[in-house]
């Protein structure tokens, strides 16, 4: 009893100990250390020395997901909120340094000018004008009723305020910077003449493609030197490379054969049953029951002929279609057209789908009106069109006398369809649908043919438990053998598997090509506990993946090998340009054309505003050299985008002088401001100190 008493006294202590023991059982040592490491838990990142609280960040993520809806994933929400927080903090820091403050009044003024708020009926007074006090009272009620959860209306509103403030801060700083960016009147004048002056003359063009790649060598050291000299272009974030083998859970042939035997066993009873619907319900089916008549061309080609030759009551199958095995019983057969042309007069009533606010007649009154119309048009069909124009609720065709275009069996609601396809041309009758009462006249029919009504049992072909276990065993075995030191490529070849490499996985990626949404795999590759050549089996939605980490690349300068695909073409072009230029020694265009086996071409009406040479393409650098060149002066060895040029400018047609270049100056200033606006955030981000811990948390 004393022992029990002691246990009761220390029950809370024991609960904590047991909880920690269970946590230790399912968690890795690193997880346990991270749990007690407050800096890891609480800081999502640090921006210019400002720590981003994990708790506050999580609230913003939940608010973002609540606003956007179910289509956004956790990772997408995290990335969106991070970019928002990053922008907010960076611009706040810049405004603080500039001594500019976006205050509460600025935010409030922006809010009440928002059309969605200003024009909302909820905040209008008796004469229809926006009432600021009503808006304030609404917010006060919102705050008072808030349950302080991440998805509450109040927290969503606070996030909205925060976004408005952030946008104001960004706009304020951008405008501040733009004040220092513009264009002088002289710059406007120069820009006008540069872009409008028409150039004419001749040139010789030698394309880089005239030099075979094999004749120009680019070494790894040259690539490395280029990367080093262009560091800002080749700084990369940390990445991981993997190889993986997938094991899809698919039904085996024996699974399919077993299902086929089960369905074959049902055939005699299916043939004998008087009630096919009850039989299907009793035995189950994996597709929706369809009681409509079916044309031959709408049936699976593998079984269409057999079904149409079968008698009513016969069962066809089992047959395979769309990953199902099926049994189809011919319940009925008939002959109907494949398309019908008809006219109708629609009478709506209160509650019918076609009724608008002006409709006041009851269903009974609508039925009587339809009967009256039917009597009239049956006596005299020529009155049908006029009555449709005057009475029909279907305004899409009332003006055409109720005439509908040709329609097929599946286009109309069942009641309308059945009347139109099961009655003869010239028939007139009444059909009730969800839209109201239709007085229907069958105007024409074509292609009358046989149709059948089927009762179908379909069973999806799925992997059995034995098959799933076999696939799991294969994945486990591969992972184990790799973990014991065997080579993945050798095992893949030995077992006839297929291994896929994937390079350049980034820390905040959500999906992996070939593996779908695989955040947990990305996190594993970036874990400090995961080393190169480590292997792990992961569960996928419909199978397993055995993943091997093949490379860890740290944040920093890209290696020469990784940069080669981008750098090598640049260096090849430079070397080819040097080779071509070394041969371009002629004293005039004709001599250059002869020594390089090329020809002299003419150009005209070329401007810096449209720097395109016929037969070559866009060459802004070459056209710029033409603009700067003196008339009738031979210039060679000009390196362009697509080759090396020699030029001679014969004429420059200046545009008409303007009384004022204010328009050109304004256009140039606007262009400069736009460039600043589009590139400002990225420039400030490059200058900021940013520590990003998202990958360790999400």
CATH of the domain at 352: 3.10.50.40
- Cα distances from 579 to residues 244, 575, 636, in angstroms, run 45, 6, 14
Q: Is 233 helix (H, G, I), strand (E, B) or coil?
A: helix
Helix axes 153-178 and 104-112, enclosed angle (nearest 10): 110
Q: Please state the rounded mean pLDDT for residues 347-371.
A: 92
To the nearest whole number, what is the mean pLDDT of the chain?
A: 88
Greatest alpha-carbon span in the chain: 115
Q: 11 and 129 in one domain?
A: no
Number of domains in the chain: 6
pLDDT reported for residue 17: 34
Q: Which of 517, 22, 455, 498 is nearest to 247 (CA)?
A: 498
Q: Which positions ≥6 away from 288 have C-beta within 8 Å?
A: none
CA angle 248/249/255 to nearest 5° reads 135
Q: 440 and 480 in one domain?
A: no
Q: 79 and 95 in one domain?
A: yes
Task: Confirm whether 459 is domain-assigned.
Answer: no
Q: 142 and 128 in one domain?
A: yes
Q: Please state the rounded mean pLDDT for residues 509-523.
A: 87
pLDDT reported for residue 73: 86
How many angstroms separate the CA atoms of 325 and 316, rounded? Answer: 11
Report yes or no on whether pTM surpasses 0.75.
Answer: no
pLDDT reported for residue 106: 85
Q: What are phi and psi of 299, to 5 degrees?
A: -95, 155
Compute the 3-state secondary structure of the chain and give helix, strand, coil in percent, each to the nearest 5.
50, 20, 30
CATH at residue 528 = 3.10.50
Residue ending a domain, choose from 494, 528, 554: 554
Tens digit of each residue's pLDDT (9 = 90 or more) over 594-626: 999 999 999 999 999 999 999 899 999 999 999
Residues, the chain: 698
**Is-contact 75 695, C-beta < 8 A?**
no
pLDDT reported for residue 12: 38
Q: What is the DSSP string of 270-302?
A: HHH-S-HHHHHHHH--SS----SEE-GGGS-TT
| Residue 119 pLDDT exceeds 70 | yes
Peptide linkage before 467 cis (omega within 30 of 0): no
Q: Which of 366, 329, 330, 361 is nearest to 346 (CA)?
A: 366
Task: Confirm whether 431 is domain-assigned.
Answer: yes
Q: 264 and 231 in one domain?
A: no
Within 10 angstroms of residue 273's Cβ, the number of other Cβ atoms is 19
Burial of 378 (0-12, 13-18, 19+ CB in 10 A): middle
Q: Please state the rounded mean pLDDT for residues 361-368.
A: 94
Q: Is 328 helix (H, G, I), strand (E, B) or coil?
A: strand
Tens digit of each residue's pLDDT (9 = 90 or more) over 196-234: 999 999 999 999 999 998 889 999 999 999 999 998 888
Tens digit of each residue's pLDDT (9 = 90 or more) over 232-274: 888 888 999 999 999 999 999 999 999 999 999 999 999 999 9
Confidence of residue 432 (pLDDT cuts 50, 70, 90): very high
Structure tokens at 190: 């120069």
Q: Which positions ≥6 away from 64 have C-beta within 8 Å?
A: 72, 77, 80, 81, 159
pLDDT reported for residue 96: 83
Q: 484 and 469 in one domain?
A: yes
Tens digit of each residue's pLDDT (9 = 90 or more) over 9-48: 333 333 333 343 334 334 444 444 444 444 445 789 999 9
Q: Is 415 helix (H, G, I), strand (E, B) or coil?
A: helix
**Is-contact 671 178, C-beta < 8 A?**
no
Helix axes 465-483 and 488-495, enclosed angle (nearest 10): 150
Task: Confirm whether 138 is domain-assigned.
Answer: yes
Confidence of residue 2 (pLDDT cuts 50, 70, 90): very low
Strand partners, 117: none
Tens digit of each residue's pLDDT (9 = 90 or more) over 450-496: 999 999 999 999 999 999 999 999 999 999 999 999 999 999 999 99
Structure tokens at 86: 């990053």
Residue ending a domain, choose from 636, 653, 670: 653
Peptide linkage before 140 cis (omega within 30 of 0): no
Q: 674 and 630 in one domain?
A: no
Residue ending a domain, choose from 336, 366, 390: 336
- Cα distances from 352 to residues 30, 374, 403, 408, in angstroms, run 64, 20, 21, 24
Q: 3 and 106 in one domain?
A: no
Q: 686 and 647 in one domain?
A: no
Location of structure tokens 């279907």: 394
Q: 591 and 528 in one domain?
A: no
Query: What is the domain range of residue 521?
Result: 238-250+464-554
Tens digit of each residue's pLDDT (9 = 90 or more) over 134-193: 888 888 888 887 765 545 677 778 878 888 888 888 888 888 888 888 889 999 999 999
**Is-contact 160 152, C-beta < 8 A?**
no
Instruction: Report DSSP state, residue 209.
Output: G
- Extract long-range pairs of 626-633: CB within 8 Å, 24+ residues apart: 626/199, 626/201, 627/194, 627/197, 627/199, 627/652
Task: Confirm whether 192 is domain-assigned.
Answer: no
Task: Confirm whether 675 is domain-assigned.
Answer: yes
Higher-pLDDT residue of 279, 159: 279
CB-side neighbour CA atoms (13 Å) of 559:
9
Sign of CA dihedral 4, 6, 11, 17: negative
How many angstroms separate the CA atoms of 147 and 154, rounded? Answer: 8
Q: 121 and 93 in one domain?
A: yes
Confidence of residue 102 (pLDDT cuts 50, 70, 90): confident
Task: Confirm whether 299 is domain-assigned.
Answer: yes
Task: Confirm whether 306 is domain-assigned.
Answer: yes
Q: 111 and 179 in one domain?
A: yes
pLDDT reported for residue 122: 86
How many angstroms separate the CA atoms of 363 and 358, rounded? Answer: 15
Q: What is the DSSP string of 53-117?
A: EHHHHHHHHHHHHHHH-TTS-HHHHHHHHHHHHHHHHHHHHHHHHHT----HHHHHHHHHT-HHH
Task: Confirm whether 190 is domain-assigned.
Answer: no
CATH at residue 67 = 1.10.4030.10
């Amino acid at each position: 009893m004393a022992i029990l008493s002691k246990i009761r006294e220390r029950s809370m202590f024991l609960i904590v100990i047991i909880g920690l023991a269970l946590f230790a059982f399912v968690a890795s040592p690193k997880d346990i250390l991270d749990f007690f490491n407050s800096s890891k838990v609480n800081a999502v990142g640090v921006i210019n020395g400002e720590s981003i609280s994990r708790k506050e960040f999580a609230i913003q993520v939940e608010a973002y997901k609540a606003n956007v809806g179910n289509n956004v994933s956790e990772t997408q929400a995290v990335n969106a909120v991070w970019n928002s927080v990053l922008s907010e903090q960076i611009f706040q820091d810049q405004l603080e340094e500039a001594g500019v403050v976006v205050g509460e009044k600025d935010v409030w003024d922006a809010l009440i000018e928002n059309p969605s708020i200003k024009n909302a009926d909820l905040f209008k007074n008796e004469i229809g004008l926006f009432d600021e006090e009503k808006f304030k009272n609404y917010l006060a009620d919102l705050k008072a009723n808030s349950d302080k959860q991440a998805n509450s209306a109040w927290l969503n509103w606070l996030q909205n305020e925060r976004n408005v403030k952030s946008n104001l801060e960004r706009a304020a700083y951008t405008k501040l910077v733009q004040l220092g960016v513009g264009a002088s009147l002289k710059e406007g004048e120069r820009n006008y003449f540069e872009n409008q002056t028409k150039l004419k003359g001749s040139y010789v063009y030698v394309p880089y493609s005239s030099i075979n790649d094999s004749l120009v060598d680019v070494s790894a050291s040259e690539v490395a030197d280029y990367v080093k000299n262009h560091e800002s272009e080749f700084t990369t974030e940390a990445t991981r490379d993997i190889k993986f083998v997938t094991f899809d859970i698919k039904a085996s042939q024996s699974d399919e054969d077993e299902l086929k035997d089960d369905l074959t066993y049902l055939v005699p009873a299916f043939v004998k049953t008087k009630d096919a619907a009850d039989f299907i319900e009793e035995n189950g089916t994996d597709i929706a029951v369809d009681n409509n008549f079916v044309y031959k061309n709408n049936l699976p080609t593998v079984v269409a002929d057999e079904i149409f030759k079968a008698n009513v009551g016969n069962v066809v199958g089992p047959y395979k279609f769309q990953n199902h095995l099926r049994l189809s019983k011919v319940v009925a057969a008939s002959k109907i057209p494949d398309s019908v042309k008809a006219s109708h007069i629609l009478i709506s009533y209160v509650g019918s789908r076609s009724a608008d606010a002006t409709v006041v007649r009851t269903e009974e009154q609508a039925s009587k009106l339809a009967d009256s119309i039917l009597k009239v048009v049956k006596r005299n069909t020529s009155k049908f069109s006029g009555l449709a124009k005057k009475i029909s609720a279907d305004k899409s065709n009332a003006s055409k006398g109720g005439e509908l275009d040709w329609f097929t069996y599946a286009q109309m609601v069942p009641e309308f369809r059945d009347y139109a396809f099961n009655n003869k041309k010239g028939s007139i009758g009444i059909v009730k649908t969800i839209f109201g009462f239709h007085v229907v006249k069958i105007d024409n029919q074509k292609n009358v043919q046989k149709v059948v009504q089927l009762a179908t049992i379909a069973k999806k072909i799925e992997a059995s438990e034995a098959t799933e276990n076999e696939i799991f065993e294969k994945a486990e075995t591969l992972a184990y053998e790799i973990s014991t030191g065997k080579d993945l490529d050798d095992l893949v070849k030995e077992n006839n598997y297929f291994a896929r490499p994937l390079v350049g996985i980034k820390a905040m990626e959500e999906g992996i090509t070939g593996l779908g949404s695989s955040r947990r795999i990305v996190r594993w590759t970036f874990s400090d506990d995961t080393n190169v050549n480590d292997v792990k089996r992961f569960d996928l939605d419909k199978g397993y993946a055995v993943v091997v980490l093949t490379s860890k690349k740290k944040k920093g300068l890209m290696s020469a090998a990784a940069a080669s695909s981008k750098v090598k073409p640049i260096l090849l072009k430079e070397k080819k340009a040097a080779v071509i230029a070394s041969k371009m020694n002629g004293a005039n265009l004709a001599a250059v054309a002869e020594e390089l086996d090329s020809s002299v071409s003419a150009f005209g009406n070329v401007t810096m505003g449209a720097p395109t040479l016929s037969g070559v393409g866009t060459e802004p650098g070459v056209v710029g050299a033409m603009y700067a060149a003196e008339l009738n002066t031979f210039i060679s060895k000009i390196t362009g985008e697509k080759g090396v040029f020699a030029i001679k400018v014969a004429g420059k047609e200046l545009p008409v002088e303007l009384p004022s270049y204010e328009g050109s100056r304004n256009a140039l200033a606007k262009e400069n401001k736009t460039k600043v606006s589009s590139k400002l955030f990225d420039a400030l981000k490059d200058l900021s100190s940013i520590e990003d811990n998202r990958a360790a948390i999400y």
